[in-house]
Amino acid sequence: MSTLLVKNCHTLVTMDDERQEIADGALFVRGNVIEQVGLSADLPQSADDVLDLQGKHVVLPGLVNTHHHFFQTLTRAVPAAQNSDLFGWLQTLYPIWKNLTSEGVYVSTQMAAAELMLSGCTTASDHLYLFPNDCTLDDEIRAAQDIGIRFHASRGSMSVGESNGGLPPDVLTEKEPDILKDSQRLIEQYHDNSRHAMTRMVIAPCSPFSVTQDLMRESAAMARAYPGVRLHTHLAENKSDVDYSLEKFGVRPGDYAESVGWLGEDVWHAHCVQLSDEAIHKFARTGTGVAHCPCSNMRLASGMMPLRKMLNQGVPVGIGVDGAASNDASNLLQESRTAFLLTRVRDENAAAITARETLEVATRGGARVLGRDDIGYLAPGMSADFVAFNIDRPAFVGSHHDAVAALIFCQPSGVDYSFINGKKVVEGGQLLTVNLQKLVETCNSVSRELLS
């Protein structure tokens, strides 16, 4: 196997159990696995590939995105939905999304992944929950594999349409036996539960207002029949979400999740803005995870998730950029900074969360939420997923005394280097695995056709 030496880091942020930050640090990688971490002077001085960062870069584990809707990259800033809350926003965009095609799924996946990778993300989960026309989750998995991001593909679904009291139009729903059959096919075709796996499967009925309780229970049973297959959905996103749960099921969202078997270490829920204190306690006790999506929550006026409260109680929390049509971006470093600032505003406490705690949520936290023990920190035996930010740039001027905190406080524009599974995917701020300009042109063409 080929070897890689990354040396002379300004600071190597390991995020390991001791939270080591190593000045003049280095990494030695064999194949796709980190073999040594330490001082540049103490590591091997040669390798098949040597990257000398000349003391100008902060290196840290790749960021982990825990919630997204890649296809929404094609429908950003749609005028009719710019000033809507969650339900109004969805009802405006559903008629557009029904025109989505296989090509749209493929190119939007690559566009969203490109944005994520350029902002420091190396692992992403995506939630594709509608399959009109010729769309399949296979399109998304193929696109993610082609661009080189570590990927957790969520087979979403909607089965309760407007005619049955649900939110989505009937044309975007599927029959539940078909959903379960395709979910099983995808698991058996793509799911890789081995260490350092690049593709894993997630079963993800869209939300309490778009599927039945039976589908939730049967999805949970199916996922738990396969090692490493996890469960994901939206929960308690805003007050209307809570009202719907009370009206339709007679319980609040957290109790609903418990009633259908959706609590546990193999489950994580997106948003959880309006989760009750009792439910937060249940999440902590059961190890149920949360994807915190602050930009989308602010954009749709859903509220502010109590991040500090959840962390204090031990709830597993990661960061998610959410759909590119409700964010409207796929910048995970920006999302992390927003989570940091919003937590301080919500608690009216400038010490509510630190920059380093925020980076930990975006790395180790996300890895835990996705059930990974091979990413999220840098140590021997871990996957070689790491990123480097050049601090010799305008955004870092005046912050060299704490360049690690400056990643959150000062918001650099993007990564200079990124390695995923030992492979260099970004160099000098340029994505190496796709022709980005051509991709932009293709996505804009597909978007115009979709919206027409």
Mean residue pLDDT of the chain comes to: 97
Q: Which residues, at least 6 apart from 238, have a Cβ–Cβ distance to it below 8 Å?
A: 85, 86, 271, 273, 274, 300, 301, 302, 303
pLDDT for 241-267, tens place per residue?
999 999 999 999 999 999 999 999 999
Average pLDDT of the residues in 144-170 = 97
Of the pLDDT bands very low, low, confident and very high (cuts 50, 70, 90), residue 323 is: confident
Residue type, 80: A
CA 385 to chain centroid:
15
What pLDDT sits at residue 118? 98
- Whether 64 has a pLDDT exceeding 90, the answer reads yes
* Structural domains of the chain in order of their starting residue, each with its CATH number: 3-62+375-429 (2.30.40.10), 63-369 (3.20.20.140)
Tell me what pLDDT residue 108 has: 98
The angle formed by the CA atoms of residues 263, 264 and 267, to the nearest 5 degrees, is 80
Q: Residue 98: its pLDDT value, please?
A: 97
User: Tens digit of pLDDT for each residue in 382-440?
Assistant: 999 999 999 999 999 999 999 999 999 998 989 999 999 999 999 999 999 999 999 99
What would the pLDDT profile of 267-321 be if each residue is shown by its tens digit?
Answer: 999 999 999 999 999 999 999 999 999 999 999 999 999 999 999 999 999 999 9
Round to whole Å and give the CA distance between 425 and 227. Answer: 29
Task: Report how far apart, in Å, the C-alpha atoms of 382 and of each of 26, 31, 195, 197, 344 are.
Answer: 15, 11, 9, 12, 33
pLDDT at site 104: 98
